[in-house]
Structure 1
Amino acid sequence: MNEPPTSTPGHSLDPQSEQEWTEFRSQAHLMLDDMINDLAALRDGPVWRPLPDERRSAFRAAQVPSGAGSLEAWRRSFREDVLPYATGNRHPGFMGWVHGGGTPVGMAADMLAAGLNANLGGRDHAPVEVERMVIRWAATLMGLPEDASGLLVTGSSMANFIAVIVASRAAPGGLSLRTAGLQSRRLVGYAGKTVHGCVSRAFDMAGLGSEALRLVDVDQEFRMDVAALRRMIEADRAAGLEPFLVVGTAGSVDTGAIDPLDGIAGVAKGEGLWFHVDGAFGATAVLSETIRPRLVGLERADSVAFDFHKWAQAPYDAGCVLVRDPERHATAFAQSLSYLSREDRGLAAGAPWFCDLGPDLSRGFRALKVWATLSVYGTRRLGEMVDRCCAVARRLGQLVEAEPMLELMAPISLNIVCFRVCARECDDVENDILNGEIVKDLQESGIAAPSTTVINGRKVIRAAIVNHRTEYADVERLVDAVLACASSRSGGA
């Protein structure tokens, strides 16, 4: 019989002496200082800067290290080659996409979670109870029952996917889908034409096919037309299709529009359909006393998808899915594997586990940073931050309307402003090109980072005010820079 290998000094990856622990502690403290100093000076630097070609080439040519290196050298590489060239969403001038800005508190909590290295797929340990607490808090905030089911995921793309799976299994005969697949079933769901693309992808990944998501017309404010929804459901039933799901959007990605959730909920209930709300960023507007009334109907949802890492400012990633009926949620995903057997006591107790509620067995401790964020800042202060973002967006809208060269292209529903440079000497196509080039100019300048989208067939500049650091001065600087870029490209005319 072969003897087991003899343990040798240094087999552990931890520091092996008091001196090594001291050296590690020194470097770790310096890393934390690097990040705190960077956060404190964000406003003084550019929003974004492109990664230099030589650094990009170095990353692409780098080989897997075979020998040990120093933590100090790695820290220096991160500080010089990564930190200055990140997305820029922490900066107050970042307005391009709905990315939260993060907080120092969330950063510190993420460090603690990494140190703990907990797997929240299951088992009986404190981190699981923290996530259960966070899910209960989330359900309460969204108006769902306190005992609603849910879990934290990578983001709303995964949250929407889980909701589509649960909804399909909740349809008549839907449990057979887990074993027999769709076979000849012709399940269809509905969402407004402004729905995020991840919902269509969820239908694709669920095996339903992206064409099974029926897109409903929207009104002039980009909100789902409830009467059109009723007509589509009626026509589809007559054609032999099986409606099972309606998706309402709370904060559309292009304009921030909120669908008439209460009206959609009424249709879903009357038709016996699952009512899901994609509230990726807009659902957290329930934190605001002034905006919450516009989300009436959210509390009637069978499931909700949203992100703590957007308007709630937790660090990436921290998406959330909530399901009103815990039994339907578990029935859609739970499985029995011998090595995952649940016990009445010991470390394998504490069922149901989170791996019974989604596709992931291995799950990080996302709940810690959410717990920290809600505990330190509180819902009142976070709600005031949401109000402030919307006020900054309205200020941007006022600046746009005051400039003859600029045109507001969509109503400002929440915190997203869509506008356009209209050069008189250019036709629509030329103005499309001009606006696209201006946005790239702005991003490369480091002054501001909006994005583009298409509204009523025209390319527009889109500014999403999601960062808690963004102030009036930042949108004033954006407008000045847009006009300067437009003037430069038109030769100062």
Structure 2
Amino acid sequence: MSGLDPQDWTSMRALAHRMMDDVFDRAEQVGSGPVWQPMPQTIRDAFKRELPRQGRAAEILYGEFLEQIRPYSNGNIHPGFMGWVQGAGTPVGILAELLAASLNDNCGGRDHAAIEVERQVIRWAAEMVGMPEEASGCLVTGSSLANFISIVTASRAVDPSLRQQGVSGRKLVGYAAETAHGCVSRAFDLAGLGSDALRLIAVDELYRMDETVLAERIREDRKAGYHPFIIIGTAGSVDCGAVDPLEALADIAQRENCWFHVDGAFGAFARLSPEHAIMLDGIDRADSLALDFHKWGQVPYDAGCVLVRDRAAHAQAFSQSLSYLTRADRGLAGNAPWPCDFGPDLSRGFRALKVWMTLAHYGTDRLGEMVATCCDVARYLAERVENDARYLLMAPVALNIVCFTLVDLDDDAVDELVKDLHESGIAAPSTTRIEGRLVIRAAIVNHRTTRRTIDAMLDQIALLAEKHGS
């Protein structure tokens, strides 16, 4: 036997049709089962087998998927999933993943259609947030990598010799709100700048970066001999969804000759909602931007994106001239620059197809309506909390994240209540700390979440609160 294709495709076709029917049957009834359920130890033990020497039939493996994997998935497609900012996916996204896998394109570069699809997606993303059409960018795993690429690009725009000589002895520093996502600090670490080079700036009463404190810290750093090179604004903070004053930060960056980067992992999509777009004024002035189509864009995981205003600066940070990656004027090795010139990955899947199909199928008007609906559901939750003496709303609701707690429960009780709530299968919020207090955090990112979902969660919380002493 040579090759890995089946000698008879009949059974494979039959299995594929069965899988597709099962997938869409589940999609139609996605809210009928539990959000999440714990994985029994016997099932965990099933994944401790030795490396297989002989293969097993695909039908057997699919049976194990149905019994041992699908029932114990993350649950973010379920309307009751509210714990972390994770999109729910869509039916057209499922189909796009199938089509992309059938092509098995490597999208590091070269001259094929997938590269043009990705370029189209990058142009659409730039238009979505108001950046120029000629902005560069590429699709990545998520905003952790997109923020990293942006920080590396910014540092090398200041000093191109960093690529050859490293950062030793250079006193580059950057600035972000103390509520910025942890991946920003990690990016400073991985870029060799050191996490201490990221100055965390205090926030105001709305949990936005305090621009006055920022300006003063920059002055202090310059006086101490440091070189401020980047200001990082957040459009949708991970804790409570706050949006930094982007216009003011852009003004300071321009005045201080700093790169202005925006982490808009999920919040950038608020630009699609006419009701909420004004909150992101200034995002169009960013020198670079991170966003995740797999969050509010509802594209299946993973589909992050980085945009950079200055294409030359972006390429300067990452492009390589290697004999085995020679760009030709025609043939398969043509069509430069390639996506690998704008990021660290040479081997890249065809992420762009699912983004392209999602945007083209739904259109930005409908996606904007979805964003507005999520924010409306979040406001409904906040109103119910504020109108019930048992609860406390712990932070302003800027977009779609609601942080609240129960008046009579301490941190330990809140922690236990949320774990019980997860195991009930009704809803899956997470926890965070606001003003030092452990609180329940509900992120309304799922396009399937409705007011009925909120009611069911609050009813279950009320029952559990009795158990935990409220």
Q: TM-score range by the shorter chain?
A: over 0.9
Alpha-carbon distance in 2 for matches of 1:134, 1:479: 39
What residue is the counterpart of 1:96 in the other structure? 83
The CA distance in 1 between the partners of 2:77 and 2:168, in whole Å, is: 47
In structure 1, distance between residues paired with 2:374 and 2:414: 24
Q: 1:480 aligns with which of 444, 459, 462?
A: 459
Q: Which residue of structure 2 aligns with residue 121 of structure 1?
A: 108
Q: Distance in 1 between the 2:41 and 2:21 partners? A: 28
Offset at residue 284 of structure 1 (A): 1.0
SS in 1 for 2:46: helix
Give the aligned partner of residue 427 of structure 2.
Answer: 448
Q: Answer yes or no: is 1:170 the counterpart of 2:157.
A: yes
Residue aligned with 2:441, SS: strand
Match of 1:366 among 337, 351, 374: 351
Counterpart in the other structure of 1:6: none
**Which secondary structure does the structure 2 equivalent of 1:182 belong to?**
coil
State the Cα deviation string for residues 227-272 of structure 1 (Å, max 9, x = none).
Answer: 1110000000000011000000000000000000000000000000
How far residue 481 of structure 1 moved from its aligned partner, in angstroms, is: 1.0
**Which of 15, 18, 21 is the equivalent residue of 1:27?**
15
2:46, 2:367 → 1: CA distance? 41
TM superposition score normalised by structure 2? 0.99
> Given the alignment of the two structures, is residue 72 of structure 1 paired with residue 59 of structure 2, yes or no?
yes
Partner of 1:141: 128
- Aligned residue number for residue 14 of structure 1: 5
Amino acid at match of 2:441: R
| Amino acid of the structure 1 residue aligned with 2:98 | M
**1:183 CA drift (Å):** 2.2
Query: Aligned residues, how many?
Result: 470
Task: Tell me by how many angstroms 1:31 deviates.
Answer: 1.3
Give the alignment of 1:40-59 within 5 angstroms.
40-59=28-47
Name the counterpart of 1:436.
Answer: 415
For residues 189-268 of structure 1, the aligned pairs below 5 Å read 189-268=174-253
Distance in 1 (CA, whole Å) between partners of 2:401 and 2:416 is 20
Q: Matches of 1:92 and 1:434 in 2, distance apart?
A: 25
Q: Give TM-score, length-normalised by structure 1.
A: 0.95
Amino acid of the residue matched to residue 367 of structure 1?
A: A
Residue in structure 2 matched with residue 187 of structure 1 by the alignment:
172
SS at match of 1:454: strand
Q: Matched residues in 2 for 1:252 and 1:25: separation?
A: 46
SS state at 1:466 partner: coil
Letter in 2 for 1:25: R
Structure 1 Cα separation of the partners of residues 155 and 447 of structure 2: 37
Q: Does 1:151 align with 2:163?
A: no
> After superposition, where does 1:322-401 map in structure 2 within 5 Å?
322-401=307-386
- The AA in structure 2 aligned to 1:55 is I
Deviates more, 1:401-410 or 1:198-207: 401-410
Whole-Å separation in 1 of the counterparts to 2:35 and 2:56: 32
Distance in 2, matches of 1:262 and 1:292, equals 13
Shift of 1:489: 2.0
Residue matched to 1:299: 284
C-alpha root-mean-square deviation of aligned residues, in Å?
A: 0.7
SS in 2 for 1:42: coil
Distance in 2 of aligned mates of 1:131 and 1:169: 25
| Post-superposition CA distance 1:13-37 (Å, at most 9, x none) | 1112xxx201100011111112111
Q: Give the CA deviation at 1:422.
A: 1.4
Structure 2 counterpart SS, 1:277: strand
Tell whether 2:436 aligns with 1:457: yes
**How many angstroms apart in 1 are the aligned matches of 2:138 and 2:340?**
9
Identity percentage of aligned residues: 59
Unaligned residue ranges in structure 1 (runs of 5+): 1-9
Tell me the CA shift for residue 65 of structure 1: 1.2
Distance in 1 (CA, whole Å) between partners of 2:217 and 2:57 is 63
CA-to-partner distance for each residue in 1:184-236, whole Å, 9 max, x for gaps? 10100000011000000000000000010000110011000001110000000
Look up the equivalent residue of 1:270 and give its one-letter code: R
Structure 1 counterpart SS, 2:231? strand
| Unmatched tracts of structure 2, length 5 or more | none
